[in-house]
Amino acid sequence: MVFAMKGDMNEDIDELDRLDRRILAVLQEDGRITVADLSERIGLSATATAERMRRLQRDGFIRGFRAELDPIRLGRGLLVFVEVLLDRTSPDVFDAFARQVKRAGEVLECHLVAGGFDYLIKARVRDMAAYRRFLAEVILPLPGVRETRTYAVMEEVKATQSLPL
């Protein structure tokens, strides 16, 4: 398994001028804003604003637009973080684990981390009973899982996808 980063992050961010950063900041707040309203907020013509948005999308600064859903109303009120320790850390185990975890709908995020365990999983389920099933049927059968530790979230103090610009 080879880990590679696409370009240097500082080089990418240096490509952005003040207007690009402002466009990104406004879009993070309101992804449904019209080009006309966005252009008014940043003080640029609609045509120039639309062209900048196309470039930001083409160059990968904007990866997509999506609706923010209410997990409680959709029956996913329990947020859990799960530390996963693998029985061995080899490329084949990492690959098999990653392939399987990507199929689990309850898993919102999964990160290979440095430290005292191998993966950190963020998942949403209905309740603790649903979590017990998820643990038994999804997490523990994943390739190479030796041990898990679960942290159930009692209160979300801050939850954002917005990046500082």
For residue range 9-44, what is the model confidence (pLDDT) as tens digits?
556 777 899 999 999 999 999 999 999 999 999 999
CATH topology of domain 78-152: Alpha-Beta Plaits (3.30.70)
Model confidence, pTM = 0.83
> What residue segments make up the domains of the chain, in order of their start?
13-58, 78-152
> In this predicted structure, what is the pLDDT of residue 5?
46
- Asked whether the CA dihedral 24, 52, 65, 81 is positive or negative, the reply is negative
CATH topology of domain 13-58: Arc Repressor Mutant, subunit A (1.10.10)
> In this predicted structure, what is the pLDDT of residue 15?
84
Q: Which residues contact 46 (CB under 8 A, 6 or more apart)?
A: 35, 36, 39
* Mean pLDDT, residues 39-65 taken together: 96
> In this predicted structure, what is the pLDDT of residue 11?
63
Contact 24, 56 (CB under 8 A): yes
